[in-house]
Chain A
Amino acid sequence: MNRADLIAGLLGIFLSLYVFWATANFPDDDVLLLGPSFVPFLLALGLCLSSLGLIFKAWVSKKPNGETGFNWKDPGIVRAGMALFVTILYCLALPICGFILTSIFYLVVLMYLLKQRNYLKMFTVALGVTFAVFGIFRMMLKITLPMGIFG
């Protein structure tokens, strides 16, 4: 049995059940004949059927098909998880500390996480990239980037 496909299939069914439930609460449209629920309902039906197909295949398959497994202790996955965590922190800090400060720290931390140990290079790249991006977006394209409490 392929567990990953089974879980994906179940997620697909849960999503389609949610869409069935949500579309049942959409208003009918007597004037336009087909209301806002028409297309989402059809699509949810398609998702539900294909999810059932995947579950059936996962159930009968003896060998995981293309499954690479998910090991939470794998150093690569831990590293990707930490990068994601740092990115989430970056997004939380962005409106408070502003683009320049947050981005410099973000780049330095990510480079450190990826085992860059040349500190001069780390800070030069972080400063250079942050100011270049800021310059292009803010000065040239007039797109406001978050300034935070220092703005």
Chain B
Amino acid sequence: MDFGLLIKGFETVLQPSGLLFILLGVTGGILIGSLPGLTATMGVALLVPFTFGLPVHHGLGMLLGIFCGAIYGGSISAILIRTPGTPAAAATVLDGYPLSQQGQAGRALTISLFSSFIGGITGVLIMIFLSPQISRFALKFSSPEYFALAVFGLSIIISVSGRSVIKGLMAGFFGLLVSTIGFDPISGYPRFTFGSVNLLEGPAFIPTLIGLFALSEVLKGVEVIYTQEKIKNDITRYFPNMSDIKKCFQTIIKSGILGTFIGSIPGAGSDIAAFVAYSEAKRTAKNPEAFGRGEIKGVAAAESANNACTGGAMIPMLSLGVPGDAVTAVLLGALVIQGLRPGPLLFKDHIDVVYSVFAGMMMANIMMLLVGMMGIRLFVRIISINRNTLLPIIFLLSLVGAYSMRNSLFDVWLAIGFGVIGYFMQKYDFPVSPILLSLILGPMAEANLRRALIVSQGDPMILVSRPISALLLIAAVVSIITSARRQMKLEKQVLDLAQVTSSR
């Protein structure tokens, strides 16, 4: 860590032209992130060609701005219209949307922005000071550890099951089965594709998400449009109030550190980081039953972790030349196009670029906070539009979002299909969140379980004989037992209440 070089990096980034490119990137990123169907990866990939002619510092600043902005932007539509703009915001829906339903959209949006900012800064600081050490630790992750990490994330299925554990488990198994559609990750054998080429890579994640969350919600909205009272979502502030900051600060920092670390593990992206941090926040909370019903800490944990992941994902990319996630893979390509080769040699030959990346990411997060604060009033105005005008617009945006992922009409049908499934699930009190969790973590769990068992020649002890994996599995078991006990208590309370009501 060389402070002189860091100051030089800031000097480059803080030039008016440098700031302008970061501002453009952040604003574009927030817009892309908030549009369902457009991911941070897509945003960065779309703008890479525009950066060819720019000086390397400016081009990188703009791309980093898109990266940070898009990850935050995903939370806006997740909170306001129950549609995660990016997969990274999938966990934000769980508490963000209920808050919005309670007339607290402004509160959710401000804490989401603040957590994204603090998480992002945490990620950058860890990236600056601990890159080499974290890279070395992250490289110790192999199949058993990845599998254990996925199981730990999946262990919250029971606690997001709502009123019935059995229904939650059914939804979880259904989601995991859906995640097995397509090529088998090890042998390449096509499973449950019914001969359709469109299903060879499995059901596309974003259209499935749009169907389960957005379309099902819009169908429900159409059903109850005249019976449901309109929720008033006024916003009086651009920044979270002190009591929310005090309540969430510890969670934000903890999730930021967790998110950075998960981001630094190659292959584990910000969606996984957000769910693992959410799971951890819920596990350690005094009132875990409030999660999923509009708990502000749930939004804070998910948003802090997914933005911290941006810094984390840069760590192996810069120091080892191994991208931490899909976006950094595209960024790696952008660096290569500029004639730079990420990895140990980058630190030796182009250390100035490394430090301008550090400074650029820091500035991108600060810019994200400013642009986000200016936009909050505008975002909230979206849900104050009359519902007989807003619902058709959300319908259209959802369908276009599903289509735009692969320019495929099949994906639109997929979204509609999952929309109907989600609608009936909601109607009959089946939780949808376990499906979401399974779709994100299922493929990671399956591929790594089988890889680990192949390595050990079928001996399952490999999963518990390695310290990191054993620790994660123990944490998962503890989480399952405690949440199962809590859920059963809750179910009993609901049953008792129903009996008392019926006896009256």
Contacts and interface: CB of A to CB of B under 8 A. Distances in A.
A15 B177 contact: yes
Contact of A46 (B169, B180, B186): B169
B44 to A, nearest CB: 12
Contacts of A84: 219, 416, 420
B454 A33 contact: yes
Interface in A35-86: 35-36, 38-40, 43-44, 46-47, 50-51, 53-54, 57, 63, 65-68, 70, 76-77, 79-80, 83-84
B448 to A, nearest CB: 11
B248 interface: no
B187 A32 contact: yes
A44 to B, nearest CB: 7
Nearest to A39: B446
Interface string A78-97: 01100110011011001100
Interface residues of B, number: 67
B399 A79 contact: no
Contacts of B46: 141-142
A27 B250 CA distance: 51
Contact of A114 (B35, B166, B392, B420): B392
Given A50-B166, A80-B423, A125 B450 contact: no
A44 B393 contact: no
Contacts of A70: 427
B166 A57 contact: yes
Nearest to B446: A39
B196 interface: no
B155 to A, nearest CB: 14
- Chain A interface extent, by class: 35 or more
B435 to A, nearest CB: 12
Nearest to A88: B416
Contact of A79 (B166, B225, B404): B225
B189 A27 contact: yes
Contacts of B430: 8
B186 A32 contact: yes
A33 B428 contact: no
Interface string A90-118: 11001100010001001100110111100
A91 B498 CA distance: 43
A103 B399 CA distance: 10
A20 to B, nearest CB: 12
B427 A19 contact: no
Contacts of B169: 46, 50, 53
Interface in B145-195: 163-164, 166-167, 169-170, 173-174, 176-177, 180, 184, 186-187, 189, 191-192
Nearest to B420: A84
Contacts of A115: 388
A3 to B, nearest CB: 10
A24 B184 CA distance: 15
B449 interface: yes
B503 to A, nearest CB: 11
A150 B397 CA distance: 22
Interface string B315-330: 0000000000000000
B389 interface: yes
A26 to B, nearest CB: 6
B223 A90 contact: no
A4 B397 contact: no
Contact of B223 (A32, A80, A143): A80
A51 B219 contact: no
Contacts of B32: 141
Interface in B381-440: 386-389, 391-393, 395-397, 399-400, 403-404, 407, 409, 412-413, 416, 420, 423, 427-430
A79 B228 CA distance: 14
Contacts of B388: 111, 114-116
A74 to B, nearest CB: 8
A53 B223 CA distance: 31
A133 B450 contact: no
Contacts of A43: 173, 176-177, 180
B15 interface: no
Contacts of A139: none
A8 B457 contact: no
Contacts of A136: 35
A106 B396 contact: yes
A76 B223 contact: yes
13 contacts: A27-B187, A27-B189, A32-B450, A40-B191, A43-B180, A47-B170, A47-B174, A76-B226, A107-B392, A110-B392, A133-B396, A141-B42, A145-B403
Given A32-B187, A87-B395, 16 more contacts: A8-B428, A26-B191, A34-B458, A36-B186, A36-B191, A40-B191, A47-B177, A50-B170, A68-B428, A80-B222, A80-B223, A84-B219, A88-B416, A114-B392, A142-B46, A143-B404
Interface of A: 4-5, 8, 12, 15, 19, 22, 26-27, 29, 32-36, 38-40, 43-44, 46-47, 50-51, 53-54, 57, 63, 65-68, 70, 76-77, 79-80, 83-84, 87-88, 90-91, 94-95, 99, 103, 106-107, 110-111, 113-116, 121, 125, 129-130, 133, 136-137, 141-146
The 7 A-B residue pairs with the shortest CB-CB distance, nearest first, are A110-B392, A36-B184, A114-B388, A76-B223, A66-B429, A47-B173, A80-B223
